[in-house]
Structure 1
């Protein structure tokens, strides 16, 4: 007997899932994941660009951090995943039945990228709804050819480029699709050209910033790619493709365990327009294939996480391959399998965050004593100075942890090249001083720091802290060396 029709109402378990993935990592971890404090300190400076990435993702992250406090990054990350599911559903409704679109959107939770990596909000997570939103609006624009959709597409394309430059790959994919299909006639009208103009206008401030800062993010990305290419060469692209398949493994196992049969004939029968199947495959697969071919041909170093935003259509592609009778029989089983999977991955997440340090006998990035570090820094500065702590510098990870939990909300001067922290200057340091921090076994190279010790209007104090590892009480305590450069007018 066929199962009853799949309900497309928002299920309670999905709401509970997002609440748990927001609250539990925040409650159980003792420090932010790797990229979060970096994004916070970038966003705090409100620049039109940063030495690794364009600015929009960091602006949004800092806004959530400022409004919601320390839990803000976790709220934002899960809102991003939820928005991605909603956009996949909205696009699916344009292509197929509501029940198929609903299940296709939920299938995204069976892709690894949409679960575990969402603990850490970064530019890859931020791209997920951008890619889906662009595909959705592009579909409406070419189908209905309305001014509002083309204008919205231009705005979103420009904003997407302000999230991460790899969005350009999706835009190129869309242009190629339009040129290789009957939609090429649209280029004889003003609408797509106006969309491109709007996108360029939105993106223009970052282009100006790049020109003023020697194209720093592109230089950084080129160096990272060259580093990866030197290890694996042209074969890095094959490893990249293999990783993308592995990240779909939970979804493939769900299909296997529920014995859900797929058929290549089904899409033509169930999609509302015959050309929609070609659209789905092109938008869902072409970006990865283009990137992989470029890696094979030119020996580019491809990082696995670059694929995170590229699979927002995987669920819709899979659900479009399920024959009608099979879908009627298996939809409830597939939904139950998704619930089981998200329950398993939630339990694994809790185990990792709470007990991972003890299991591995060493801390992860989420196991550092962030609150203790920030409190110690604040107390030390207040003992020495009557002025606000304006900035921190030193070992990047320690400094980022302090900056994102300190009550002073200090700026960060990154180690290495002074160009990485354009908001800092020798004059600012002379006027306000700074606090330098680094682990006992490390001596970072910090711009402008050495001359400060010779300034007559600054007093240098130094010392060492010993801070226990909260989740590893038997581990040797963390030793932090510090140097405080205090303006004489502020010295206590």
Structure 2
């Protein structure tokens, strides 16, 4: 204890000397911190964040295609709908809007993912500035940048990562509505909560946490006797209206998909809940250690600072507890899966609470050090980890086959045009290859087979499904996919089975090979229900 105390005193003395007479290399960082309240420092930080991590993604995945989740999101975004088969519509809307402005290219969707992460951090800063100014606002963002959430989790733009931005925005509007129960903020709270639900139904836990926080807060009577909660409810339901109508019309397809995760027994749910909490703790481990080193012996004030939280921070504390406790309780009661990545978008609440709830000033010595660590990690990751990752994946590949996506799409399109003389309109098979072909093929075929029953039977007449040509793709080792694709092809009556091998390449370096089985079905292949197979 004495050694730890003396070490802390040494750092404190060093911090004071540095603040009085900073080294020359620290001065640009100090100027940047001076710009936080001037209004330019946070936008500059977020712009650098987007630039660095977008370039990282471009380099790290230059020999591979986009993640299947991102390709699925792009596929949803090709047409506007009030919902999609597996998810509510927000992620598709974002991708669709983005690709009306930017091209459908890898770098573009990487940029979209990082822009979403930066927007999330901007909304977090909106919350922080309600309680602190200057350096502490920067510290909240720097601590969050030390998690893997806003870089590696965010890059896989899907129903989970779209919540990175919707949760802090909805939380900010709820906070403002609770503090100032005007019609404007009440309506904003309801609409932004609805937007979060349109991102993923998991956001029901955020909305429930708002209700729980309002009930537990000492000012609950004033809030619930005002019109604010009722305006929020009406505004939220109005914003969800068209999606709810679509849900009824589609027999609640996304809910059925979500319920596939509700098949666990109590023992499994207990294990999942423990892993859930431990996963969230692990994601916050580096910023937690960083904060403890920054606070030093002042960390002993934590209990006193917690007891003295102002009304706004106390509300956020109840929300934070709800976003962790309610999913765990639900999992234990109804037996659902509970991966921690479903809740990563709520970790910002704990960073805000710890930093904004601290009663003491943080010396700039520590804030600059934190900024340097964040910058150093980004630079090392960009210059060393990214190219090494690309080289490794070129040699060892991915289970989903990302290093072959472009080659498969190009070869499939070539064979289809050679066979039919026309563009490829539909593609199916294993999801990853089908999504990839839809994205990387110059024909951009629609994902999914046209008007095919999920299980053709003996009553299916040959040639019944050949009004539209289609291709079904499987990797050779995917026996179930091949069996299903062949059954569909046989039901069509006109098909060609092809087998080809593709090989990953990175800057001319040959990588892993993999074989693809393709079933090409077209009315132009034959007549009278015949079929043929290529050698």
In the superposition, the TM-score normalised over structure 2's length comes to 0.80
Match 1:161 to one of 184, 187, 197: 197
- The worse-fitting range, judged by mean Cα deviation, of 232-241 and 243-252 is 232-241
Report the Cα distance in structure 2 between the residues aligned to 1:179 and 1:346, rounded to whole angstroms: 46
Deviations 1:203-246 (A, max 9, x none): 2222233223333322222222425x588342221111011000
Match of 1:356 among 392, 399, 417: 392
Match of 1:50 among 75, 84, 89: 84
* 1:26 counterpart residue number: 58
Q: Cα distance 1:357–1:328, how it changes in 2: closer, same or farther (>3 A)?
A: closer
CA shift in 2, pair 1:382/1:347, >3 Å? same
Deviations along 1:128-186, whole A, 9 cap, x unmatched?
11110011011111212222112222221222211100111111111122223323433
**1:49–1:210 Cα contact (<8 Å) kept:** yes
SS in structure 2 at match of 1:480: strand
Note the 1:170-249 alignment, pairs <5 A.
Answer: 170-181=206-217, 182-226=219-263, 232-249=268-285
**2:10 aligned partner:** none
Alignment correspondent of 2:168 = 132
Decide whether aligned partners of structure 1 residues 402 and 330 sit closer, same or farther in structure 2, where only a CA change above 3 A counts: same
- 1:59 corresponds to which residue? 93
Q: Deviations over 1:336-360 (max 9, x none)?
A: 333334445545751563133267x
Change (3 A) 1:120 1:388: same
Task: Quote how far apart the aligned CAs of 1:78 are.
Answer: 0.6
Judge conservation of contact 2:505–2:511 (CA < 8 Å) in 1.
no
Unmatched runs of 5 consecutive residues or more in structure 2: 1-15, 21-29, 456-461, 528-535
Counterpart in 2 of 1:423?
none
- In structure 1, runs of 5+ residues without a counterpart are 421-425
Displacement after TM superposition at 1:64 (Å):
2.2
Q: Is 1:389 the counterpart of 2:424 in the alignment? A: yes
Report which of the two structures shows the higher radius of gyration computed on alpha carbons. Answer: 2
The 5 Å alignment of 1:93-492 reads 93-181=129-217, 182-226=219-263, 232-258=268-294, 260=296, 261-262=298-299, 263-264=301-302, 265-266=304-305, 274-327=310-363, 330-346=366-382, 349-351=385-387, 353-357=389-393, 361-363=396-398, 365=400, 367-413=402-448, 429-443=465-479, 444=481, 450=487, 453=490, 459-471=494-506, 477-488=513-524
Partner Cα separation in structure 2 for residue 133 and residue 95 of structure 1: 16
Rounded Cα–Cα distance in structure 2 between residues aligned with 1:172 and 1:276: 18
Other structure's SS at 1:407 match: coil
Secondary structure of the residue aligned to 1:32 is coil
Correspondence for 2:69: 35
Q: State the TM-score, normalized to the length of structure 1.
A: 0.86
SS in structure 2 at match of 1:96 = coil
Distance 2:150 2:294 in 1: 21
Tell me how many residue pairs correspond in the alignment: 478
